[in-house]
Amino acid sequence: MKVFHTVSGLRDDLNKERQQGLRVGFVPTMGNLHDGHLALIKQARQSNDVVVCSIFVNALQFGLNEDWDKYPRTYQNDCDKLRAAGCDYLFHPDDIEMYPNGLDTQSRVICPTMTDVLCGASRPGHFEGVTTVVSKLFNIVQPDEAIFGIKDYQQLAVIRRMVQDLCMPVLISSAPIHRETDGLAMSSRNRYITAEERPLVTVLKDSLEWMAGEIQSGSRDFSGLEEAAKARIIAAGFKIDYVTACNSKTLDLAAHDDMEITVLGAMFTDAARLIDNLSITL
């Protein structure tokens, strides 16, 4: 695996690959890699000749009082995992390489839809940071395909819209949620969960599955289902961020005649914010 810390170095090498007609797949990450990330690498390998991964903890997508400074950075371990997974290139820039003019004057990429609800409502500016850094990474890597996990469902929807709106020649592919043996969605932030909380955190997944089952059985009382699911989570000892049923494509609140619905939820443990989702077709 070749490791690059500069834009110019990575571009020069990837240009040689493209001149040979090779297809480039890309997996952007913030590091602290787990099996979910490695599944994205393996999926990229299946449909591309060259696989690129980036590791960059993007300060622009972290809000005030969020965990940018303590976000786990495990670079050497990540490199070992990427090599074992068959990654060809790692792009690991520092803040100056990604934002040479500083964050305050950095040009921004803003998606005006789907970004002020759900995670966007509780994390103002988060998706502006995501779309800005992803657009920069796409310009740097120039991939044919980029793969994202469905766990971050809203992020995936926003990136797809950005790519469509800006006519970016990148195929956006998704990968299923990778889960722990008990069903908890894998996340770099799971390490923040305490031992006492750990047996209880699957209440988020269980509550969303219950909602989806009720909807599939014919219920259209979305607000009632949301309140009942929230009550389950609160009873388990956790704080609610949101639980809702949405149109899978627009992320608008689910309507009675919607045929594709995604139920999404986010909750807080003592030190972690966990998200999950489940999509159904009626």
Domain count, the chain: 2
Task: Kindly state whether residues 151 and 270 are assigned to the same domain.
Answer: no
Cα dihedral value 174, 98, 3, 8, nearest 10: 110
Task: Kindly state whether residues 54 and 136 are assigned to the same domain.
Answer: yes
Q: How large is the average pLDDT for residues 128-140?
A: 98
pLDDT band at 30 (very low <50, low <70, confident <90, very high): very high
Residue type, 49: D
Task: Kindly state whether residues 104 and 10 are assigned to the same domain.
Answer: yes
Task: Kindly state whether residues 254 and 164 are assigned to the same domain.
Answer: no
The encoded tokens of residue 91 equal 């792009």
State what percent of residues in the chain have pLDDT above 90.
94
On whether residue 122 sits in a domain, the answer given is yes
Q: How far is CA 76 from the centre of its chain?
A: 22
Task: Kindly state whether residues 92 and 208 are assigned to the same domain.
Answer: no
CATH of the domain at 60: 3.40.50.620
Q: Domain span at residue 195?
A: 188-277
CATH of the domain at 218: 3.30.1300.10
- Give which of 175, 150, 159 is closest to 279, Cα–Cα: 150
Predicted pLDDT at 65: 67
Contact assessment for residue 162 and residue 134, using Cβ atoms and an 8 Å cutoff: yes
**Coil, helix or strand for 192?**
helix
Q: How large is the average pLDDT for residues 28-53?
A: 96
The encoded tokens of residue 215 equal 């909807």
Using CA atoms, how far residue 99 sits from 3, 31, 134, 171, in Å, is 19, 18, 13, 25
For residue 191, give the DSSP letter: G
Task: Kindly state whether residues 205 and 159 are assigned to the same domain.
Answer: no
Global pTM? 0.94
- For the chain, the farthest-separated pair of C-alpha atoms sits apart, in whole angstroms, at 58
Query: How many Å apart are CA 160 and CA 154, to the nearest integer?
Result: 10
On whether residue 139 sits in a domain, the answer given is yes
Q: Is the model's pLDDT at 126 over the cut of 90?
A: yes
Cα dihedral value 33, 161, 130, 258, nearest 10: -70
The CA-CA-CA angle for residues 51, 55, 57, to 5°, reads 155
End of a domain among 111, 141, 175?
A: 175
**Active site (annotated) includes residue 37:** yes
pLDDT band at 64 (very low <50, low <70, confident <90, very high): low
Q: Which of 5, 34, 37, 92 is catalytic?
A: 37
Query: How many Å apart are CA 210 and CA 192, to the nearest integer?
Result: 26
- Kindly report, residue by residue over 199-213, the tens digit of the pLDDT: 999 999 999 999 999
Predicted pLDDT at 72: 83
Predicted pLDDT at 139: 98
Task: Kindly state whether residues 24 and 108 are assigned to the same domain.
Answer: yes
Task: Kindly state whether residues 47 and 130 are assigned to the same domain.
Answer: yes
Contact assessment for residue 199 and residue 236, using Cβ atoms and an 8 Å cutoff: no
- Kindly report, residue by residue over 1-20, the tens digit of the pLDDT: 999 999 999 999 999 999 99
- Give which of 115, 109, 8, 130 is closest to 57, Cα–Cα: 130
- Burial class for 122, CB neighbours closer than 10 Å (0-12, 13-18, 19+): middle
Predicted pLDDT at 237: 97
Rounded to a whole number of angstroms, the CA Rg of the chain reads: 19
